[in-house]
Amino acid sequence: MIRMLLMAVLLASPGAMGVQVPVSIPSFVVEEAAKPQPIAFCLALLRVRIPCGMEIREEDYRWGFRPDHDRPLGEAGPLAEAVKVFEQRHPNYRVAVDSTAVVIRPRFQSLPFLDSVSPVREEKTVTGPLKSVKTVFAGLYPRLAGGGVELNSMGYPGWDRKVVLKGGQDRTATDTLNQIAVQLPGYAWLVTTKAVEGRVQVVELSVLESNGNRRYITISENR
């Protein structure tokens, strides 16, 4: 059953917008959801190619955390159980599941921009996942618009895969970010935030890989 689950997700076309989040997941995901690091749940979802994204508090993000992906996946169980375990272990976070992606965000003082109407108003094709994340957040930080090939912090060229972004009045910024996760299985969008005097600020924008690697840019509030 586990093999059938993984094949159903892995064989979905990377460019297709109709990828479905399965109702059953390996027990490995439930175990990772119970870990003290909130990011572990997101990484576990990436391992089984479930599209996901996360807004994480700066103080909760352990940089360099590596998942234990050598463990067997285990028997199949309901995704709802993993969500329940995660929210009990991390009561300051909430999990939203729809037909296309799993989104993890702070329960209190989350970033309002993610709930706002998507700034991408017309369909556009963007090269690279980090560039795609920046394209969405250019609606909040206009200086992120434009630019060429992305480089990571080590100076290596970023991905050159194409991502089709769709916005409109019926989509939020989160909906558009989820399109990146759907089209590029094994990668998640990650927004690191902090609360300062009742206001939520973005610290970093990242693209996360299932092995814990990420490519990111640091954000200054000087827009």
For the stretch 135-172, pLDDT in tens is 999 999 999 987 654 544 444 444 678 899 987 788 99
Judged against a pLDDT cut of 50, whether residue 15 lies above it is answered with no
91 alpha carbon, distance to own chain's centre: 19
Please tell me the predicted confidence (pLDDT) of residue 222.
52
Please tell me the predicted confidence (pLDDT) of residue 19.
53
The residues, ordered by sequence, that sit 6+ positions from 61 with a Cβ below 8 Å of its Cβ are 38, 39, 192
Give the range among 40-44, 109-113, 143-147 with minimum mean pLDDT: 143-147
Digit-coded pLDDT (tens) for 197-223: 889 999 999 999 888 888 899 997 654
Give the 3-state secondary structure of residue 93: strand
Query: Are 82 and 1 within 8 A, CB to CB?
Result: no
Give the range among 113-117, 125-129, 165-169 with minimum mean pLDDT: 165-169
Domain boundaries, the chain: 2-218
- Number of Cβ within 10 Å of residue 153's Cβ equals 10
